Amino acid sequence: MASYSILVLPGDGVGPEIIPEAIKVLDLISAHSNVKFNYETALMGGCSIDKHGVALTDEVLELAKKSDAVLFGSVGGPKWGAGKVRPEQGVLTLRKELNAFANLRPCRFASKSLTDLSPLKPSIIEGADFMIVRENCGGAYFGTKIEEDNFASDPWQYSREEVERVAHVAAALALQHDPPQQVISCDKANVLASSRLWRRVIKLSHQLADSAAMLMMKDPRSFNGVVLADNTWVANNFWW
């Protein structure tokens, strides 16, 4: 029987509520297959700040590196604010240190009965089924920041290699379907140099992010397939 170690980081807020449900699903998979999961639980985020003064301790980072997978809930909350030590530092460090450069965010309804819960009308949202592939280790989140009293900067940078590797993930997902699904790359190439690099590297169909966001609300089914976007506001704001 194959056995995998999973580091469980429930985090803050809704995390401790949803993670036990996710573990029930994993246990069910385990009960019906030849796979066994071994869980170890640790702190990350605001709960770690409360106990250790940092969002992610070196010990937990080491555990994450040694594990086969990390199951993470959520971090942050008004209690911790946006001071020098922030819960979000935990998840950003994990993404970078584990090189988790492709963040998959599905947009689909597991059951038709759930469409009534959407803020969009069922007639608009029914049948929407796309996967947002968010680049997860670059862009303005990770450039070397300058933070002074009267000046601040977050360089929004990408290398060709960073764009290529996430584009390969998007393409691999699209190619799992027969015929292959469309891949739409969303950017701000009318303003950002880094977006124009994306367009030079990725020869696909492109959409400006602002019009894409509007179309996603108006006609989400037209995005069915794979939607690729960079790490910063583009993909983060598509997540609804």
DSSP states of 175-219: HTSSSPPPEEEEE-TTT-HHHHHHHHH--SEEEEHHHHHHHHHH-
Stretch that binds ligand IPM, among 33-41, 55-63, 85-93, 144-152 (CB under 6 A): 85-93
Contact pattern from residue 46 through residue 75 relative to ligand IPM, giving x for each residue in contact according to CB under 6 A and a dash for the rest: -----------------------------x
Asked if 236 interacts with ligand IPM (CB under 6 A), we say yes
132 touches ligand IPM by CB under 6 A: no
Interaction of residue 189 with ligand IPM, rule CB under 6 A? no
Residue (of 220, 183, 31, 233) closest to 107 by Cα position: 220
The reply on whether position 154 binds ligand IPM by CB under 6 A is no
Choose which of 54, 71, 88, 208 interacts with ligand IPM (CB under 6 A). 88
Q: Which of 8, 91, 174, 184 binds ligand IPM (CB under 6 A)?
A: 91
Helix axes 88-97, 58-66, angle to 10 degrees: 40
How far apart CA 220 and CA 43 sit, in angstroms, is 37
Residue 183 within binding range of ligand IPM, rule CB under 6 A = no
- Residues that bind ligand IPM in the complex, under the rule CB under 6 A: 75-76, 88, 91-92, 236, 239
